[in-house]
Amino acid sequence: MEKEMKLQHFSHIHPLIFTKRQVNEGEDINCSGCEKAVLGPSYNCCKCKFSLHEICAKLPFKINHPFHRNHPLILLSKPPTQYTECLCDFCDKTCNSFVYHCFTCRFDLDIPCALLQPQVTGDFLELERFSHKHQLIFIENHVNQGKEVSCSGCKDMVSGPSYSCSNCEFFLHRKCYMLAPEINHPYHREHSLILLTNLPPSYSSCVCDFCLKTCQGFVYHCPSCKFDLDIECAFLPLCITEPESHRHQFIHLMKALSFICDACGVKGDHHPYLCTVCQVIVHEECRFLPHTIKIIGHRHPVTQFYFLQGSKYSKQHCGICHNEVSSNYGGYGCLGCNFVAHVNCATVNSVSMDATLLKSQGQDENIIFRSDDSSNLITDIIKEINLEGDMVAMVVKHFSHPHKLTLNEKVNDDKLCDCCITPILEPFYSCLECDLFLHKTCLQLPKRKQHPLHPHPLTLLSNHPNFEGLFFCDACHQSCHGFTYNCDPCNFNLDVRCGSSSNTLKHEAHEHPLIFSKGTECIDCSACGYGNDYLYSCFDCSFALDFNCASLPHTVRHRHHGHPLDLTYQDSADQNYCNICEEEERNPKHWFYCCKTCNFYAHPKCATGQYPYIKLGKTYPYEAHPHRVAFVHKTRSHPPCSRSGNPCKGLALECTKPQCNFIIEWCHVEILHF
């Protein structure tokens, strides 16, 4: 593949030209990225003395490096401006040019150290700079023939199974050859420790931080903290992986001590329990914590750990209370989701316990609900066809309707889904005998589920028992028609938009997952600017959404405009007013709806209306009137309310009989029935 001859690099204002040889032979030229001599292919500036090795010119902007596994490192053309001096955290040399930087930890790697990527053979880690240059030969049973040799890893005498080099005096016990490339150790819980086969270049000597002896062989090293353990101390019987593997007996200390429990992180002030092998000290009740539990609001089982292992869990906020989880103490975590929780938060919110959770396939569906559980489905397939290898249900029977429903692929945005009360903008099912429409996704909703807003299981109802199916959503605080997730004993209701959410939310407006959290005074909804009791938040970016904004439809129609209006997250418009209300200026930092064809812009509340999830035109019997009434929205004519005499503006119930002038404002209906 031909090289790119011209490059516009982010670190330099002029274009760089590719050359295969040194530009000015006989003249010393250093790379502006790594500060080493340029002797081969490079990119060079014709206007000034700026050069980059080919490899330095093509460095990735972001890397994940084994020397700093907690966060990605970002390539900077210069050290951060707040530094008076920038030192590489691996070699301790001064960084004057390119540097890989972690903004969270203020961790830095110069380019030579950043290029030290690990090579793994089996479970043995070799770093390119420190690996042995010759091939090692396995000896099943090493016998000393008049000369004792020491292991280059631990410096003990070599005997039994080992590896040796035929070219030089390099020997390794098999156990040292098989050393894990990375460990988590209770003596240094903040970060993982990386195996080094030689000391870092900045070290003239190395002292083990546990036994305080000089390290002679391999060492486990933390580049961030300059923490070191020799091999012997690293593998004293201290390392804990999971509590399930803890086979030792706890000893009850018959002495009143003030301590912090290693299992839950909570202070204790009376007789603790100690494992003399693992050096773990716990409350009496924490000895019996279940290894695996299922918690409300998280779909996977979570397992107990004794300290937060940085390489496994990238997030360090509790998924329930959203406060920080200390890496020094225990908790519960889900490896698949990077979900962690404090012990007390997880056990208070648990719904099922221990090993039976993973081994049993027949859990009570009133306790644990799985989206792939056939007992939780609400649709019977009557007819399906094969489309390009996929079986597609063409005709179904749904619990909400007495007739068969047929699949339609054609979008019909003039119709509303009877489940979520939003326009039909995707494949849907409809009844050929009556006016009923359901999105395909709404048809597949589970009939029971847990939700982080409520401690009890919720059941899907197609028609709320209140006034003709009308209910108040306890998440977004909207009056709604459509299906509801309901807890009858608590009179708790969620519309399906809010009810379909869980502990985490992925929204196209933000690149990171959003975590369900209790609102605080210091953070408001990024879409509307208002505070709320509950939010979906990104702790890295201070981005948050309340339930109402998180469930806004992507497309709406408005009677004042002929085209669909699309939800827009960033404002690049020249004008910041709303074309619907024409009175209130739009905040350019907040979301809005727009038609880009016509330059038509609107507040979300103006585009969707005050009652966006009430189905207008639907008729009902009304106990206070002999005829059927319909929901209407009065914007032009304002007849007097039959109850208060005030002009009806906005939502109202109106008699369907043309000769009857009965109409009642919705506020008075709510007073009567809610």
Contacts of 16 (CB under 8 A, 6+ apart): 6, 7, 8, 9, 43, 44, 45, 50, 52, 57
Confidence of residue 674 (pLDDT cuts 50, 70, 90): very low
> Residue for token digits 């002896």?
213
pLDDT, position 494? 92
What are the C-alpha distances in Å from 493 to residues 470, 478, 483?
A: 11, 11, 10
Rounded to whole angstroms, the Cα distance separating 37 from 55 reads 13
Rounded to whole angstroms, the Cα distance separating 323 from 521 reads 15
Choose among 429, 412, 427, 224: nearest CA to 311. 224
**Amino acid (one-letter) located at 226:** K
> Percent of the chain at pLDDT above 90?
7
pLDDT digits (tens, 9 = 90+) for 40-63: 788 999 888 899 998 899 899 888
Please classify residue 254 by burial: count the beta carbons closer than 10 Å to its beta carbon, then call 0-12 exposed, 13-18 middle and 19+ buried.
exposed
Task: Report residue 563 as tokens.
Answer: 């085209």
Query: Mean pLDDT throughout 167-182?
Result: 80
pLDDT digits (tens, 9 = 90+) for 93-123: 788 899 999 888 888 888 887 876 544 333 3
pLDDT, position 126? 38
Q: Which ranges of 206-249 does DSSP label H, i.e. alpha helix? A: 231-234
- Phi and psi at residue 268, to the nearest 5°: -125, 155
How many C-beta atoms lie closer than 10 Å to residue 546's C-beta? Answer: 23
pLDDT, position 181? 82
- What is the chain's mean pLDDT, rounded? 78
pLDDT digits (tens, 9 = 90+) for 477-536: 888 889 999 998 888 999 998 888 877 788 889 988 887 776 566 678 999 988 877 888
**Which is more confidently placed, 327 or 14?**
14
Task: Report residue 460 as tokens.
Answer: 């899907």
Lowest mean pLDDT among 126-130, 437-441, 604-608: 126-130
pLDDT, position 673? 40
Q: Which ranges of 3-61 does DSSP label H, i.e. alpha helix? A: 54-57
pLDDT digits (tens, 9 = 90+) for 588-602: 889 999 987 888 888
Please classify residue 377 by burial: count the beta carbons closer than 10 Å to its beta carbon, then call 0-12 exposed, 13-18 middle and 19+ buried.
middle
- Phi and psi at residue 97, to the nearest 5°: -130, -125
Tell me 467's DSSP state.
G
pLDDT of 17 higher than 60: yes
pLDDT, position 367? 31
CA angle, 667 then 672 then 674, to 5°? 85
**Which is more confidently placed, 668 or 120?**
668
> Percent of the chain at pLDDT above 70?
79
How many C-beta atoms lie closer than 10 Å to residue 26's C-beta? Answer: 5
Rounded to whole angstroms, the Cα distance separating 386 from 391 reads 5
**Which is more confidently placed, 358 or 582?**
582
pLDDT of 291 higher than 50: yes
Rounded to whole angstroms, the Cα distance separating 78 from 93 reads 15
pLDDT, position 560? 76
Report the chain's C-alpha Rg in angstroms: 33
**Amino acid (one-letter) located at 9:** H
Dihedral sign, Cα of residue 33, residue 37, residue 43, residue 46: positive
Q: Which helix (H) or strand (E) holds 132?
A: none
Choose among 66, 232, 237: nearest CA to 153. 232
> Would you list the DSSP string of 589-658?
TS-EEEETTTTEEE-HHHHH-SSTTS-TT-EEEETTEEEEEEEEEESS--PBPTTT-SB--EEEEEESST
Confidence of residue 356 (pLDDT cuts 50, 70, 90): very low
Rounded to whole angstroms, the Cα distance separating 297 from 630 reads 38
pLDDT, position 495? 92
**Which is more confidently placed, 234 or 360?**
234
Choose among 530, 507, 634, 521: nearest CA to 589. 530
Lowest mean pLDDT among 31-45, 402-416, 489-503: 402-416
Query: Mean pLDDT throughout 446-461?
Result: 84
pLDDT digits (tens, 9 = 90+) for 531-574: 877 888 887 778 889 988 998 888 888 877 888 889 998 876 66
pLDDT, position 355? 39
Q: What is the domain partition of the chain in residue ranges? A: 62-114, 374-443, 448-499, 504-550, 555-608, 619-673
Strands 292-295 and 428-431: unpaired
Query: Mean pLDDT throughout 113-135?
Result: 50
Per the DSSP assignment, residues forming a β-bridge with 44 are 17, 51
pLDDT, position 493? 92
The 3-state DSSP class for residue 547 equals helix
Q: In what order do the strands lie in the sheet with 592-595?
A: 555-558, 561-568, 592-595, 600-602
Biggest CA-to-CA distance, the chain = 118
Tell me 215's DSSP state.
P
Rounded to whole angstroms, the Cα distance separating 117 from 109 reads 12
- Strongest mean pLDDT among 87-96, 176-185, 645-654: 645-654
Rounded to whole angstroms, the Cα distance separating 561 from 595 reads 9
Task: Report residue 581 as tokens.
Answer: 């209300």
pLDDT of 297 higher than 80: no
Query: Mean pLDDT throughout 373-380?
Result: 48
- Phi and psi at residue 212, to the nearest 5°: 65, 20
pLDDT, position 99? 93
Rounded to whole angstroms, the Cα distance separating 398 from 460 reads 12
pLDDT, position 660? 92
Contacts of 82 (CB under 8 A, 6+ apart): none
pLDDT, position 311? 43
**Which is more confidently placed, 614 or 167?**
614
**Amino acid (one-letter) located at 484:** T
pTM of the complete model: 0.51
pLDDT digits (tens, 9 = 90+) for 314-330: 457 787 777 788 877 88
pLDDT of 228 higher than 80: yes
Query: Mean pLDDT throughout 417-438?
Result: 85
What are the C-alpha distances in Å from 98 to residues 45, 46, 506?
A: 17, 21, 34
Task: Report residue 335 as tokens.
Answer: 């490896």
Choose among 58, 61, 69, 57: nearest CA to 107. 69
Query: Mean pLDDT throughout 203-208?
Result: 82
